[in-house]
Amino acid sequence: MNQTDNKQNTMVSIRNAVMTDLSAILNIEKLGFTAEEAGSEAQYLERLKKLKETFLVAVVNEQVVGFIVGPVVQEDKVADWMYEEIHEQDIVGGNQMVLTIAVDPAFQGFHIGTQLLEALYRIAKTQNRNTIALTCLEKNILFYEKNGYKNNGQSLSNHAGEIWYDLTKIIK
């Protein structure tokens, strides 16, 4: 998947994440989230092992500059337990969750987040998922709405002591 972005003709490729991406992923995670919000190295190792099809990275000039990851579950909303407990992905249909989407601040404004969302949407569609769901902070709602997500109001999540909002995008 290669796309050229209008901003300085930056070539962005999106591919499945691999173990050698872990260091870059953890660095981007630290840049984009508070210590309380951020996933741990152990969590990302588990995600890399169990979420191979739905853990994508954006690469510019051989550098990982963003990523998106989430499990497929029967639930239709992200729940806090999903951050801690990743199940093997053998679900038919179901719903695609987004646990994390993050872009290196140096590459924000290049539409990389939008490209990651679209790449995961295409995968979810080919896998007959019903919806894609995520939670976000209020400051990010507009970004997701511009990408076709519907704000379903305040989430039950209390992850990192923040107020989160549930957003979904219908696939079927």
Q: What's the mean per-residue pLDDT of the chain?
A: 91
- What is the CATH number for 158? 3.40.630.30
pTM of the predicted structure, to 2 decimals:
0.91
In the prediction, which pLDDT does 89 show? 63
Rounded to the nearest 10 degrees, the angle between the axes of helix 22-32 and helix 41-50 is 130
> pLDDT per residue over 34-79, tens digit each?
888 899 999 999 999 999 999 999 999 999 999 999 999 989 999 8
Number of separate domains in the chain: 1
pLDDT in tens, 120-154: 999 999 999 999 999 999 999 999 999 999 999 99
Q: Which domain holds residue 75?
A: 2-170
Q: How confident is the model at residue 6 (pLDDT cuts 50, 70, 90)?
A: very low
